């Protein structure tokens, strides 16, 4: 009788993407960061793994996976390069989710399926100069005009915007209705009146390109509204737990990278005739990093499992994102302290980890906002 258990789908996915990260991404991660350009060739390599469709059913060319599997994938990619993990997460989740949920069959054929195959790049346009956490401050408008919508306004800090083929854009349709007057719209690159600014020069995630979008009388057909009237924010809230849990997984991957590099350095670097790992204060740093990473792992994948079971996860996903993103920041900071002056050199990857970690503090809600949400969920107010 064969008692050897078969690996689970999750174990196979982790092994596959860990190997992909080691063989394909890590050897070029520093170069991609230095070049600061979207690496379309790497985008196509990732597409060939089936990553972009991991969350979607086979009916649209996906892999039929779940949130847990999605988080495993982005964690392993983030361990290798936060830039690559960031544009992959955008392609898999925010950039295509509304199109999948509310797009027409024709839009699925023309945009969604090619995006899953890596033939088109997706983007998600939510943030404005005066409206990030405060969605009620959205000023980009969509007004109906016969068989069309006319879009006017500006979006900023839009991931993938310089290279995207289509955008999911949050617009105000009726200011008097407040949050119920907000809807998402599908806008394709090349539509007259749509202007994409030059890419922003950023501190970190430099191989993920970000820029501003401006809409001047952009005319799109009525069927390009994604979802029923007035349900844009409600539809966003339904995937927010996934976004936060995914961001926790990104954070976990980066924290692991900082830990792995620090541990290896502790075994190589000598001072006063000893390996620095023999010094108690360095041991304390490694112990704290390892403990925080384990806690982040447990929180992230419990939140993912709850999502997969269809349970309410507002508190748990918020906790996971808050704790894991702060863990990544602490771990990368401690890594620079362990490396000392060498962390200030561009030759060592810990400087990239330190720069990239700031990206994690904003998407899906800042730590301050998440603390407020967690407190509310705990019944404090």
**Considering only CA atoms, which of 342, 36, 354, 376 is closest in space to residue 199?**
36
Q: Is-contact 214 197, C-beta < 8 A?
A: yes
Q: Are residues 361 and 281 in the same domain?
A: yes
Q: Residue 5: what pLDDT?
A: 75
Number of structural domains (the chain) is 3
Picking from 207, 232, 257, the residue at the C-terminal end of a domain is 232
Of 221, 224, 227, the closest CA to residue 239 belongs to 227
Which of 179, 209, 232 lies at the terminal end of a domain, its last residue? 232
Same domain, 83 and 171: no
The answer to whether position 4 is within a domain reads: no
- Give Cβ neighbours of residue 277 (< 8 Å, ≥ 6 apart): 263, 266, 267, 283, 286
The whole-number pLDDT of residue 269 equals 95
The pLDDT tens digits for 169-221 are 999 999 999 999 999 999 999 999 999 999 999 999 999 999 999 999 999 99
Residues 29 and 44 in one domain: yes
Neighbours of 377 (CB within 10 A): 14
pLDDT digits (tens, 9 = 90+) for 34-74: 999 999 999 999 999 999 999 999 999 999 999 999 999 99
Boundaries of domain holding 185: 122-232
Is 33 among the domain residues?
Answer: yes
Residue pair 25/81 in contact (Cβ under 8 Å)? The answer is yes
Q: CA torsion angle for 51, 104, 114, 205 (degrees, to 10)?
A: -50
Residues 315 and 299 in one domain: yes
Spatial separation of the C-alpha atoms in residues 217 and 142, rounded to whole Å: 9
Same-domain status, 172 and 300 = no
Residue 172, phi then psi, degrees to nearest 5: -90, 125
Same domain, residue pair 242 and 357? yes
Q: Is residue 275 part of a domain?
A: yes
Pair (364, 252) in one structural domain: yes
Given a contact cutoff of 8 angstroms between Cβ atoms, the answer to whether 101 and 226 are in contact is yes
Is 320 a domain residue? yes
Q: Which SS3 state, helix, strand or coil, does residue 62 take?
A: coil
Give the pairing type, strands 166-172 and 122-125. Answer: parallel
CATH of the domain at 67: 1.10.540.10
pLDDT at 132: 80
Residue 3 is assigned to a structural domain of this protein = no
Q: DSSP code of 161? A: G
pLDDT value of position 3:
66
84 part of a folded domain:
yes
Q: Are 140 and 155 in contact (CB under 8 A)?
A: yes
CATH number at residue 202: 2.40.110.10
Whether 281 is covered by a domain: the verdict is yes
**What 3-state DSSP class applies to 328?**
helix
Q: Is 146 inside a domain boundary?
A: yes
Claim to verify: residue 88 and residue 164 sit in the same structural domain: no
Question: Helices marked H in 21-165 — which ranges?
Answer: 26-35, 40-48, 67-80, 82-92, 94-102, 105-107, 113-117
249 and 329 housed in the same domain: yes
Residues 169 and 212 in one domain: yes
Task: Output the pTM of the full model.
Answer: 0.95
> Are residues 220 and 141 part of one domain?
yes
**CA distances for 369 relative to 127, 209, 270, angstroms:** 16, 26, 43
Residues of the chain with pLDDT under 70: 1-3
Q: Which of 232, 258, 277 is the last residue of a domain?
A: 232
Q: What is the model's pLDDT at position 381?
A: 83
Indicate whether 18 and 98 sit together in one domain.
yes
DSSP characters for 236-288?
HHHHHHHHHHHHHHHHHHHHHHHHHHHHHHHHH-EETTEEGGGSHHHHHHHHH
**Residue 260's domain is classified under what CATH number?**
1.20.140.10
């Amino acid at each position: 009788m064969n008692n050897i258990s078969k690996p689970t789908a999750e174990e196979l996915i982790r092994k596959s993407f860990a190997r992909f990260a080691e063989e394909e991404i890590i050897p070029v991660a520093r170069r991609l960061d230095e070049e600061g350009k979207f690496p379309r060739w790497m985008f196509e390599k990732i597409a060939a793994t089936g990553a972009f469709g991991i969350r979607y059913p086979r009916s649209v060319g996906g892999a039929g996976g779940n949130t847990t599997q999605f988080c495993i994938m982005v964690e392993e990619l983030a361990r290798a390069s936060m830039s690559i993990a960031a544009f992959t997460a955008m392609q898999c989740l925010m950039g295509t989710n509304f199109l999948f949920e509310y797009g027409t069959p024709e839009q699925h054929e023309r945009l969604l399926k090619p995006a899953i195959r890596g033939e088109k790049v997706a983007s998600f346009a939510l943030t404005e100069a005066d409206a990030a956490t405060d969605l009620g401050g959205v000023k980009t408008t969509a007004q109906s005009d016969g068989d069309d919508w006319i879009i006017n306004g500006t979006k900023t800090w839009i991931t993938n915007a310089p290279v995207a083929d289509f955008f999911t854009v949050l617009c105000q349709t009726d200011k008097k209705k407040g949050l119920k007057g907000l809807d998402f719209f599908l806008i394709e690159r090349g539509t007259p009146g749509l202007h994409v600014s030059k890419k922003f020069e950023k501190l970190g995630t430099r191989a993920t390109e970000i820029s501003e979008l401006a809409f001047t009388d952009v005319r799109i057909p009525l069927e390009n509204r994604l979802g029923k009237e007035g349900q844009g924010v409600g539809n966003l809230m339904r995937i927010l737990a996934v976004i936060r849990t995914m961001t926790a997984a990104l954070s976990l991957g980066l924290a692991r990278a900082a830990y792995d590099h620090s541990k290896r350095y502790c075994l190589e670097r000598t001072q006063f005739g000893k390996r620095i790992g023999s010094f108690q204060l360095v041991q304390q740093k490694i112990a704290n990093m390892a403990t925080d990473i384990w806690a982040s792992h447990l929180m992230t994948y419990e939140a993912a499992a709850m999502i997969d079971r269809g349970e309410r996860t507002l508190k748990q996903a918020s906790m996971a994102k808050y704790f894991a993103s702060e863990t990544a920041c602490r771990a990368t900071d401690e890594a620079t302290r362990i490396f000392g002056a060498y962390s200030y050199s561009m030759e060592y990857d810990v400087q990239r980890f330190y720069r990239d970690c700031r990206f994690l503090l904003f998407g899906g809600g800042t730590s301050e906002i998440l603390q407020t949400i967690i407190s509310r969920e705990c019944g404090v107010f």
